[in-house]
């Protein structure tokens, strides 16, 4: 049973940076798709970034490309989302999601429908 715990959220001024962490337990990071999603107040969920740990392939939403970086630390079963040049519109609850044995398959990760496991979220506020 996969469990995910996010951390690293907080409040930051526009232009600043934050690094979110997702601890993955119950499955090793050798063959799993990990995604980061966000949902702002009154907005629908948005796929932000994803990584397939088997090959290291990464995927990004156009809104964060060039500013956010998703990486994994297999030794510590951690996935990070480094967020740079933050904007007020990045304000949202950020969630980590996982699906074992899935390569994220191109753009299909964006909908979130392929992920069976979700964390509780961590709030990011940019002012």
Instruction: Give pLDDT tens digits for 55-94.
Output: 889 999 999 999 999 999 988 889 999 999 999 999 999 9
- Interatomic CA distance for residues 80 and 70, integer angstroms: 6
pLDDT of residue 71: 96
d(CA 75, CA 28): 9
Res 105: pLDDT: 81
25-63 pLDDT, tens digit per residue, is 988 778 899 999 999 999 999 999 999 998 889 999 999
- pLDDT score of 127: 97
Q: How confident is the model at residue 5 (pLDDT cuts 50, 70, 90)?
A: very high
Using CA atoms, how far apart are residues 62 and 66, in angstroms rounded to an integer?
9
**Cβ neighbours for 99, distance < 8 A, ≥ 6 positions apart:** 32, 33, 114, 115, 116, 117
């Amino acid at each position: 049973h996969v469990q995910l715990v996010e951390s690293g959220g907080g409040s930051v001024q526009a232009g600043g940076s934050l690094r979110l962490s997702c601890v993955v337990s119950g499955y090793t990071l050798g063959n799993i798709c990990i995604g980061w999603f966000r949902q702002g107040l009154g907005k629908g969920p948005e796929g932000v970034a994803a990584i397939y740990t088997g090959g290291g392939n990464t995927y990004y939403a156009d809104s964060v490309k060039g500013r956010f970086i998703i990486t994994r630390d297999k030794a510590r079963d951690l996935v990070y989302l480094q967020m740079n040049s933050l904007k007020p519109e990045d304000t949202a609850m950020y969630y980590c999601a996982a699906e074992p044995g899935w390569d994220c398959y191109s753009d299909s990760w964006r909908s979130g429908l392929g992920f069976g496991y979700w964390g509780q979220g961590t709030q990011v506020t940019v002012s």
